[in-house]
Structure 1
């Protein structure tokens, strides 16, 4: 399983320091939505320059203007860009088209997506589907969310999960067939970020 390090609510220099501490133990570096809102594509470009060989995800949370936003993020150096599952099917299709043209990956964020919409989204067979517990829930209900949605997503080949993941819950995620675990504060706010990242890495191998 891959670990995705989520960088949110930090400046670019702070993000680079976090990466310096933790990047060796993670597979994907996420330029979070708040960084993109605060600093634009400069935040993606800075991480790409510092880590040319890492997979970079831009969490743009695209809801409209799919082709434009995806072209912009990929152009800044992203390997994966996110679109909201709540977006129109037309928008998601536009995002997929750009991703395929550029031979990149795209992630569909399933935040607050209904079961009915989930079925419509299954047509995007090449997407990474991300179960996402809202940040405002501070990790409460993560395990229940996973249990409630795994059946709906049965047969989906690429799954990620985000939202308050801790060392207490990483084991469940690692054994539930997820390709990617998105981890933010449990690493970025740790007293020893390097150690925290290494502990998550070890836990995914258990």
Structure 2
């Protein structure tokens, strides 16, 4: 499955790209930068405009798990993100609220040490994002994915980090359920065509 990551874009660009890619994507991610620019209103607008797609609010919550999770999910997101390095209580509070609302939490493993993965499982985490950050993607070929190789034994895995048709094979070894695709689609002259192309090369799940 494909999650289009809408970030560092205007609201109008986000809407246009989603409309162009709609038939080829499964999840719409409203990126952290977009949320910082437009707040919860953009989640509400996307819920109204695209009622049949799963919406991920990339809140990157580090603290105040209960409050930020309520904000994102009550605004219309189906999934909100919490950082894996956040305090255990933050993660527990976020999961508790999500379950009460019949929604979900995706835990971002950006810069999270391998030793913490087992603890995340113990906390009840189900969805994780194996994430190579924007600032390190220039070194992506040297950034080992080995640390993530066993995640699929315990979690539903999302992968993110400069994904393109050329890099899909590198991420396949993690057996991901969802490929998060940002710049390859959002920077394309024809986002609809780009989303169709990437859909052809990712494994069918």
User: Given the two structures, how large is their TM-score scaled by the length of structure 2?
Assistant: 0.93
Q: Aligned partners of 2:52 and 2:152: how far apart in 1?
A: 32
Q: Could you tell me how far apart the structure 2 residues matched to 1:71 and 1:91 are?
A: 13
Query: CA shift at 1:127, angstroms?
Result: 2.1
The offset of 1:35, in angstroms, is 0.6
Residue pair 2:108, 2:131 contacting (<8 A) in 1 also: yes
Task: After TM superposition, list the pairs within 5 Å mapping 1:143-162 onto structure 2.
Answer: 144-151=143-150, 153=151, 155-162=153-160
Show the 5 A alignment for 1:94-109: 94-109=93-108
Quote the offset at 1:144 in angstroms: 4.4
Change (3 A) 1:139 1:3: farther
Structure 1 position 139, deviation (Å): 5.1
Matched-pair contact (CA < 8 Å) for 1:125–1:156 = no
Counterpart mapping for 1:104-123 below 5 A: 104-123=103-122
Show the 5 A alignment for 1:187-206.
Answer: 187-205=185-203
- Aligned-pair RMSD on alpha carbons? 1.7
List aligned pairs for 1:138-177, cutoff 5 A.
138=137, 140-141=139-140, 144-151=143-150, 153=151, 155-174=153-172, 176-177=174-175
**Is the Cα contact below 8 Å between 1:143 and 1:169 reproduced in 2?**
no
**Structure 1, gaps ≥5 residues long:** none
User: Is the Cα–Cα contact under 8 Å of residues 3 and 182 in structure 1 kept in the other structure?
Assistant: yes
**Contact 2:114 2:147 survives alignment (8 Å):** no
Question: When the two structures are superposed, what TM-score results if normalisation uses the length of structure 1?
Answer: 0.93
- 1:46 to 2:35 alignment: no
